[in-house]
Structure 1
């Protein structure tokens, strides 16, 4: 199925990630900057940070309290005093956002306006610009076939541009590939790159989620705020009109018959089931997520994810 390109200025920017397109998102980032500031704080510390976790600069030690991370125990003070003590770290004034972006083959699909891969890159660019404008740092991890790349968090325009150039490069590297890299590998890489308190934003359609992603997500969420933008397409929510459709798959040309009502009714459930594994993992850890369709604009979703702590407040 060919994406509907009538609402796009060019067919190229609908199916491929282009640097011009990503740079243009900067004009829209000012609308999100104040929300990004609520998340990451700023150099002037005008806004209180909503990040959990700790920075990297040691401040002092105090008596252990229930709920403290045992990995931050100060064993020297504990041995000297005979009472358990834990280390405290001074909060960094700069905060980091790490974008974890799926470049798997399943993302190269779309029937409305653009591919999911392009929508993910546009959304990532908008976040990068908003974070750069707020005075904080942004980095990125790309995962997909033949791709094992990352951009360490950096500040300002340079930090944002490094992420944008990487998005374009990663789109080219994975173009035409057929293998799928599991989400767990990306989460494990994020554990090594992200400092405590980093905001992690996943951009994926959820179809690459695997069983090993659950423990990796739990470890990451212990020290970082994790949220997810789940990319989807309109055809994943509603079957196309009754007819026979020719599709090109990895195994060749196939025909899909949507004339049967039973097939049409079952169609959306197939996509929900593929995405449910990741959605379930996020819900079990009270982590925020939102669905973003290929034809929609990302600002409303990002206002939710960047305007509030990624961990939902529980009633009571």
Structure 2
């Protein structure tokens, strides 16, 4: 276990990621299964297809054809029909999940329970545990302030490596760096490593005009899900009151009493999550929105098509 611990004190789980919490989230995952991901052609314009090989998963039987392996004859169906039949097996391929994690400074914000960055790490950890419990490998790509890559690994070691990376990346000092989401998606396509699933976790403030097209192109290669992480103030107008906000070391009070004033404040604050949700739906990609108060497990499970999960 010590191999995954970052060289720092563990976070509090509110403004900093807690490695202990991320590791403990694995205890909530039962005998998870992920819905089969379609095999995708490497080039756009080609269609998904079922592949048959010498794997162990039986697919169907068909009439014997010249050249078929006689060891694959379906003797029961042959006896019933009076004609030779051959068993076909679906090719076994180890699934891979690639998690794209937004680390922009906008993620270090929160007014309820925890920062968006901490919530995103919790969601990523759930995804990692789900993947490895289902027999898949998991890798991660951080974009924004951090430019990091964790190559795919399987079994509990893969999930622990993901948890350790999440805590380590969160503890790194701010790099005052930004990256358009379309650029991150392009990098994901190039560094896909044969991933059959891609999960994007972001608050959407880095989304640009090209994001929709890159999501669409990535969807041609893998099953893609988008988890939008928002703060409560970004999703709904706040109650009337005076709100102390701190940014860049400066603290100011925002006074919000009128209904229109509170609605416009929420709309201005929530432009990122709303934009990413719209772009994801426009690209035909599955999308869920959660805020910092939610338990991410249900949303992550739905996006990955997971079953058999303990809640």
Tell whether the 8 Å contact from 1:51 to 1:199 is kept in structure 2 after alignment: no
Match of 1:170 in 2: 169
TM-score of the superposed pair, with normalisation by structure 2: 0.74
Secondary structure at 2:251 match in 1 = strand
- CA RMSD of superposed structures (Å): 2.5
Supply the distance in 2 between the matched residues of 1:180 and 1:197 (Cα, whole angstroms).
Answer: 25
Offset at residue 238 of structure 1 (A): 2.8
Q: Which runs of 5+ in 2 are unaligned?
A: 1-9, 48-89, 307-311
Kindly indicate whether the alpha-carbon contact (under 8 Å) linking 2:216 and 2:284 is maintained by their aligned counterparts in 1.
no
Q: Does 1:100 align with 2:129?
A: no
In structure 1, stretches of 5+ residues that fail to align are: 1-9, 40-48, 56-66, 70-89, 309-316
Q: Deviations over 1:132-166 (max 9, x none)?
A: 11111111011122x21111111111111221111
Q: Does 1:53 align with 2:40?
A: yes
CA distance in 2 between partners of 1:276 and 1:236 (Å):
9
1:83 corresponding residue in structure 2: none
- Relative to structure 1, the CA distance from residue 129 to residue 237 in structure 2 (aligned partners, 3 Å threshold; closer, same or farther) is same
Report the Cα offset of residue 290 of structure 1. Answer: 0.4
Deviation at residue 118 of structure 1 after TM alignment: 0.8
Count of aligned residue pairs for this structure pair: 254
* Counterparts of 2:298 and 2:276, CA distance in 1: 22
Bigger radius of gyration: 2
Aligned to 1:22, the other structure's residue is in SS state: helix
How far apart, CA to CA, are the structure 2 residues paired with 1:179 and 1:237? 26
In the alignment, the residues of structure 1 paired with residue 274 and residue 130 of structure 2 have an alpha-carbon distance, to the nearest angstrom, of 30
Q: Helix, strand or coil for the counterpart of 2:114?
A: coil
User: Which TM-score applies when normalising by structure 1?
Assistant: 0.73
Cα shift at 1:195: 4.3
Corresponding residue number in structure 1 for 2:157:
158
Structure 2 matches for 1:135-154, cutoff 5 A?
135-145=135-145, 147-154=146-153
Match of 2:285 in 1: 287
Q: 1:14/1:92 Cα in 2 relative to 1: closer, same or farther (>3 Å)?
A: same
Kindly indicate which of the two structures has a greater share of residues assigned to helix. Answer: 1
The equivalent residue for 2:24 is 24
CA distance in structure 2 between the partners assigned to 1:261 and 1:305 by the alignment: 35
Deviations 1:211-232 (CA, angstroms, capped at 9, x unpaired) = 2323322321111111111111
Corresponding residue number in structure 1 for 2:34: 38
Give 1:164-313 correspondences, 5 Å limit.
164-173=163-172, 175-195=173-193, 198-250=196-248, 252-307=250-305
Indicate if the aligned counterparts of 1:54 and 1:197 stay in contact, CA closer than 8 A: no
Deviation at 1:276, TM superposition (A): 3.2
SS of 1:13's equivalent? coil
3-state SS of paired residue (2:120): helix
Partner-residue secondary structure (3-state), 1:129: helix
3-state SS in 2 of match to 1:216: helix
Residue matched to 1:120? 120
How far apart are the structure 1 equivalents of 2:91 and 2:206? 35
Aligned residues of 2:213 and 2:283 also touching (Cα < 8 A): no
